[in-house]
A and B are shown apart, each in its own frame.
Chain A
């Protein structure tokens, strides 16, 4: 049973590292930006600018955090 749990944990950790990577904040910001874009697209306001804006914010933030380590 212990071996099975260990293997499942390792499997989950592999996929987390593969998709999310070193900084989970990037994934959270991307998800929030997608949700906000979807919400804004239902109004009369243009929504295309939200994704580039989110990237413009989160990339330097993530870099600055990595630099301080």
Chain B
């Protein structure tokens, strides 16, 4: 695997693992509070819709000429990556609550327990079905977007798909084994890393798509990624000075970052 291939694998793996953790939390809440069978149907239906979307978009994306693809996808990836990075910086600096899978699980569980039970289209519990269907579809869409954009741009869709499959399989297996939200996954730190990677690749591909030539070609990524990370960390440090008192700076980011 080349340096760019390694970075591609790492970025897709981390992004998909984060999305999978969120989807697993929702499905676990639907299954635990309501009905595992209906939640399972919801997962199956969500995966089926994702497969249709991938089958429709995949060939279309890979058929676009590389220059135009890099311009379009680089721009989209950069907008998308800056959203992630913005939220990650706000969380790490105490301006936004940390993403807490335990709290999300408890909230989903309470909502699921209080909802009415209704059977539709031979699905025993429609609420459990729609909850897990939406969770899988919405989080899965981000996985599909990341795999297709990264894979098509790097001319290595199989590697991107492999990274996504490994990440999702790992998270699902752990989720099924412990049957509890994966709160110990350092999700906030992972989101920070993913935001950095998406932004860096977006800058690189966007500029290439717009006909700019990077000094050092692909090796420029080895400079862009650490520069974006350091810039984001500097912004965290500056924003921490004005953080509201109750939500202290992210201890997770400090401990993870100092390892």
Contact = CB atoms under 8 A, between A and B. Distances in A.
A22 B86 CA distance: 10
Nearest to B236: A63
A38 B203 CA distance: 13
B50 interface: no
A31 B75 CA distance: 7
Query: Helix, strand, loop or mixed for chain B's interface?
Result: helix
Contacts of B235: 59-60, 63
A48 B239 contact: no
Given A52-B203, A59-B82, A18 B90 contact: no
A20 interface: yes
A30 B202 CA distance: 10
A56 B231 CA distance: 8
B207 A59 contact: no
A8 interface: no
B25 interface: no
A15 B220 CA distance: 32
Interface size class of A (residues with CB under 8 A): 20 to 34
A40 B90 CA distance: 33
B207 A48 contact: yes
A19 B80 contact: yes
A60 B95 CA distance: 14
B210 A41 contact: yes
Interface in A3-56: 18-23, 26-27, 30-31, 33-35, 37-38, 40-42, 46-48, 50-52, 55-56
B215 interface: yes
Contacts of B202: 30
Given A23-B86, A26-B83, A55 B203 contact: yes
B211 A59 contact: no
B227 to A, nearest CB: 7
11 contacts: A19-B79, A21-B83, A23-B83, A26-B82, A34-B75, A37-B207, A48-B207, A48-B213, A55-B82, A59-B231, A67-B242
Given A26-B82, A38-B210, A59-B89, 12 more contacts: A21-B80, A26-B79, A31-B75, A37-B206, A37-B207, A41-B212, A47-B207, A47-B213, A48-B215, A51-B210, A52-B203, A59-B232
